[in-house]
Chains A and B, each alone.
Chain A
Amino acid sequence: MNTNTRKKKRVDQIVRSIFLASTLLSASFIIIIVIFIVMKGITPFITDNDGLGVVNIWTFLTGTVWLQGTAFQSNLYAVGFIIVNTLYIAFLSLLLSLPVGVLTALFIAKIAPKRLAEFLRTIVELLASIPSIVYGLFGSGIILTFVYNLAELFGVQSKGGNSVLATVLVLALMTLPTITAVSEVAIRSVRKDIEEGSLALGATRTQTNFKVVLASAKSGIFAAAILGIGRSLGEATAVSLVAGNAKSGPNLGLFDITTTLTSTMLQGLKETTGVDYDIRFSVGIVLMIVILLTNFILNAVKKRVGNVNVK
């Protein structure tokens, strides 16, 4: 080997190790996230919080009032009702966005003329690219007014429209494009021969679309629902603008004000030390666990629902 080749080899080695270092760095962030949030988040449960006393983990997870007493003078935090609220809102919003999203996907993939399908696909892409803060702004400008008027129609005085219903509507709008896009891919990947078999047996196009295509795309549609739920659970800023920030609960009435794990974390962040600060990280841990568990359970359900010949 001459010196030139050796030099080249050396450069190769250096460059390769830079690449490897970048990769290790990229991969380490998820570990950093978990370690730091857990470290901060368990502080309220294992230290005496500057004399306030340990936060009881059981009451924290099951309680129905966010904070009894004043901030920084009490250790009586609880997120039990907020967990219920968060899941309740996420599933209600899915109840709206899933049917609409799947039907839109079916329309784009199978029913609409090509031009119209392309146009709608662009619309869905645009909706997906709108940042959540704009949905939040739209929510507090339009949806709050709508909900307020609706509540009045039912003879209920809502707090300026801030409510479960408003939150559900905003989240449904936000998850609609994700669900539509993923469902469309699932519907389009349904094998042609299944469809043709149904048509050959005398079913109409529409019957085939609804009974055969949708059934065959079940697993993909389920995946879309899981993605949608994930986005609902983790969405923060838009929700915080329409939820109304309830201090106790659970809030199950459609016109009641509510709060979610994320909107609670965003509330009144002022100090950077003390239990009122650390507790946000605890809520963060709860949020991550809720998301992981929901994903896990839904994926298990998805497996049981089964695959019908979907690629």
Chain B
Amino acid sequence: MSNKRKAIDIAYQAITYLASSVSLLALSMIVYFVWSNGSGLLNMDLLTKDYHAKYYNGEMVEVGDYSTTLRPSDLDDDIYYSEQYGIGLSDAKDREGNPIILVEYIASDSPMLKLADRNSEDIIALEEGMLISKVAFFDKATALRTFGAEYMVNELDSATDFREIVFTSLGGGIRGSIITTLYLIGMTMAMALPIGVFTAIYLNEFAKKNRITSTLRTLIDTLTGVPSIIYGLMGLAVFVPLTISVTPATSGNLISGSLTLAVILLPVIIKSTEESLKVVPDGLRQASLALGANETQTTFKVVLPSSIPGILTASLLGIGRVIGESAALIFAIGTAVKDDISIFGKSTSLAVHIWSMMTDEPANIELSSTIAIIILMIVLVLNITVKLLSKKFMKPMQ
């Protein structure tokens, strides 16, 4: 081999190394990006809290019922403490950079724990982590959040009573979207699995090899190439009106979403189930039939159990698809993020929640990344499980 040839070969090889590093680089950048932006918000609170902030409007139940707790020594220096009301407040900025006042600490005997809701008969409580937007007094100017925490604390301590305190829960949780995603997975699977598995059984076990069968197959295969946004249009045109007419729903809803997703999953489930039916040896079927079992018994007791790994793989892939699907659901359900979930109402899956926040002004990249971390973790686990499953079960039977 000439030296020149060698040099050229090495150059060519180097190019392939370079090309391969693109995939690695892309994956690491995506993971790094979502982790660096989203990990800060990742905690249990996020999973259990509501997305929308709730507004409260409270007043003192009994004037004179003050806190006697002194300023705790472990409170940070930048927290202003109101001795009379037993609350510690600090200044912070929200995502848009507006000043907010954060409740950092509440004494156990603080009157703020028992406030009368001015909009109802309920007793409401200020909690740590909430935001105070203003405190209005009877005889002096209102302490707004824009004046800062120190001002608000001073005003509170120099007044015996206040007219109202307006505070909000922080919101930004994704409980609603998690529940929606779970609903969607459950309902979609309940619809797509039986139909898909039955179709696969029919095509593989019963259908004659003729033109009608191959037409049916072509029709089903064509579904694979349809982009998900087209499925979304179908959901909007077919399933949304359908569900509105037969259920209490009045708009896109989780049922119409699940129906749409079920259609998307059908070709995946049919393909995967058929693959595993194909490896069931004919001898098993014949033996079962020879022993006096009828077709139904043979199918359900002999053929189907051997294809369980395939069906399981299909289900896991399907769950992954449901979790990641966004375009179809934007049309088939809608993009309104909700906290109270009903299968007859609108709400967003985790993926659509991201889209909804990213198309808002300004886009919420932090929370989007946090949700992306959750989605990526689920998808990763599903993928590894599928890999292990196929390693374990997908050997041809003896």
Contacts and interface: CB of A to CB of B under 8 A. Distances in A.
Nearest to B24: A123
A5 to B, nearest CB: 8
Identify whether the interface residues of A are mostly helix, strand, loop, or mixed: helix
Q: Most chain-B Cβ atoms within 10 A of its Cβ — which of A12, A136, A141?
A: A141
A142 B29 CA distance: 9
Contacts of B397: none
A12 B237 contact: no
A297 to B, nearest CB: 15
A201 interface: no
Contacts of B228: 234, 236
Contact of A131 (B26, B198, B202, B379): B379
B230 A19 contact: no
Given A133-B355, A236-B229, A104 B326 contact: no
A16 B203 CA distance: 11
B23 A176 contact: yes
B299 A15 contact: yes
Classify the interface of chain B: helix, strand, loop or mixed: helix
Contacts of B30: 130, 134-135, 138
A53 interface: no
A138 B195 CA distance: 36
A120 interface: yes
Nearest to A131: B324
B270 interface: yes
In this complex, the interface size class of chain A, counting residues with CB under 8 Å from chain B, is 35 or more
A137 B324 contact: no
Contacts of A25: 195, 199
B327 A126 contact: no
B9 interface: yes
25 contacts: A12-B294, A23-B199, A24-B216, A26-B196, A26-B199, A26-B220, A27-B215, A27-B219, A31-B219, A37-B234, A40-B237, A99-B19, A100-B22, A103-B20, A126-B380, A131-B351, A134-B354, A140-B365, A141-B369, A176-B26, A207-B9, A230-B227, A234-B229, A281-B237, A284-B229
Sorted nearest first, the 3 A-B pairs with minimum C-beta distance are: A234-B227, A131-B324, A103-B19
Interface of A: 8-9, 11-12, 15-16, 18-20, 22-33, 36-37, 39-40, 99-101, 103-104, 106-108, 111-112, 120, 123-127, 129-138, 140-142, 173, 176-177, 180, 204-207, 209-210, 230, 233-237, 240-241, 262, 265-266, 269, 272, 280-281, 284, 287-288, 291, 295
Interface of B: 1, 5, 8-9, 12-13, 15-20, 22-24, 26-27, 29-30, 33-34, 37, 194-196, 198-199, 201-203, 206-207, 215-216, 219-220, 222-223, 225-231, 233-234, 237-238, 251, 263, 266, 270, 294-297, 299, 320, 323-327, 330-331, 351-352, 354-355, 358-359, 363, 365, 368-369, 372, 375-376, 379-380, 382-383
Given A103-B19, A136-B358, A236-B327, 16 more contacts: A22-B194, A26-B195, A29-B263, A30-B222, A37-B230, A37-B237, A104-B19, A104-B20, A106-B16, A111-B13, A134-B372, A134-B375, A140-B358, A205-B9, A265-B233, A291-B225
